[in-house]
Amino acid sequence: MRVFACPVCGEAGVPILYGLPTPAAMRAASAGRVRLAGCVMTPDQDQWACAAGHEWRAGDDAQLGAAIQAAIRAAE
């Protein structure tokens, strides 16, 4: 899994997961592997978040999806 660094503070980013989380997604969030967001989706929503609370966009949807899948698989 590719890690995207925060453009502000340089901390490693975790993918932001939108929508209703599955139990595995909630475990992944508890482990700090994903950030859960609400169900409201906008075209320019942020995709990544760091531990300091910064959020940003990076990469493409495929990379984001792969990062989310990897985080959830690790929590199953």
**57 is an interface residue for Zn ion by CB under 5 A:** no
CB 35 within 8 A of CB 52: no
Select 19 or 53, whichever has its Cβ closest to Zn ion: 53
50 binds Zn ion (CB under 5 A): yes
Asked whether position 52 contacts Zn ion by CB under 5 A, the answer is yes
Site for Zn ion contains 14 (CB under 5 A): no
Q: Comparing C-alpha atoms, which of 2, 10, 1, 3 is closest to residue 54? A: 10
Closest CA to 48 of 73, 76, 61: 61
| Residues of this chain that bind Zn ion (CB under 5 A) | 6, 8-9, 11, 50, 52, 54
